[in-house]
Amino acid sequence: MSSIKEAMSCFTTGVTVVTTHFEAQDWAMTCNSFNTVSMDPAMVLWSVSKSALSNRAFTQSGGFLVNILSLEQKNLAFKFSSGTQAERFKDEPIERLKSHRAKLPMSLAWFDCEIDQVVSAGDHDVLIGRVLDFGTREGRALAYSKRQFGHVEMANA
């Protein structure tokens, strides 16, 4: 019999690193629960585990920045999902935005957001954000499916 985790892992997603700035410190974690919500106004969401050490920073800082990872940034998916916050940012070039939040320069796209709502849902908090600023660059997206990283081959390509 399959587990609920296994069933959920069949939904192929992109991979992001979400950052925030809280109590004069950078915080970040790898996240694949990101999704778009609204076009006008532009809104996005993701969910942070209630047991994450960074939960307080993400739910109380007032905003977050989502970096959509490119295929070349696969190592960052590992780097930002373990270790201390200092280890995650060590040797990592960042660009600091007006919001003080850190952007990873080689990301395929980024969304700098202010928190609109925090919804408690089971063992996670869903963070719904209003997009303040965003950007994109050329490249291929990193994909995550059945707990493995890869890339999407387009049917008509």
Ligand X SMILES: Cc1cc2nc3c(=O)[nH]c(=O)nc-3n(C[C@H](O)[C@H](O)[C@H](O)COP(=O)(O)O)c2cc1C
Binding site for ligand X (CB under 6 A): 15, 29-33, 46-49, 52-54, 77, 81-82, 144
- Work out how close the CB of 115 gets to ligand X at its nearest, in angstroms, rounded to a whole number: 15
Closer Cβ to ligand X, 56 or 96, answer by number: 56
- Work out how close the CB of 36 gets to ligand X at its nearest, in angstroms, rounded to a whole number: 15
- What SS3 class is residue 17? strand
Closer Cβ to ligand X, 73 or 155, answer by number: 73
Closer Cβ to ligand X, 74 or 130, answer by number: 74
- Work out how close the CB of 78 gets to ligand X at its nearest, in angstroms, rounded to a whole number: 7
Cα distance between residue 76 and residue 109, in whole Å? 15
Closer Cβ to ligand X, 31 or 68, answer by number: 31
- Work out how close the CB of 120 gets to ligand X at its nearest, in angstroms, rounded to a whole number: 14
- Work out how close the CB of 42 gets to ligand X at its nearest, in angstroms, rounded to a whole number: 20
Nearest-CA neighbor of 109 among 151, 137, 133? 137
Share in percent of the chain as helix, strand, coil (round to 5):
15, 45, 40
Closer Cβ to ligand X, 64 or 144, answer by number: 144
Cα distance between residue 74 and residue 60, in whole Å? 28
Nearest-CA neighbor of 94 among 61, 67, 134? 67
Q: What is the sign of the dihedral through the CA atoms of 21, 44, 107 and 69?
A: positive
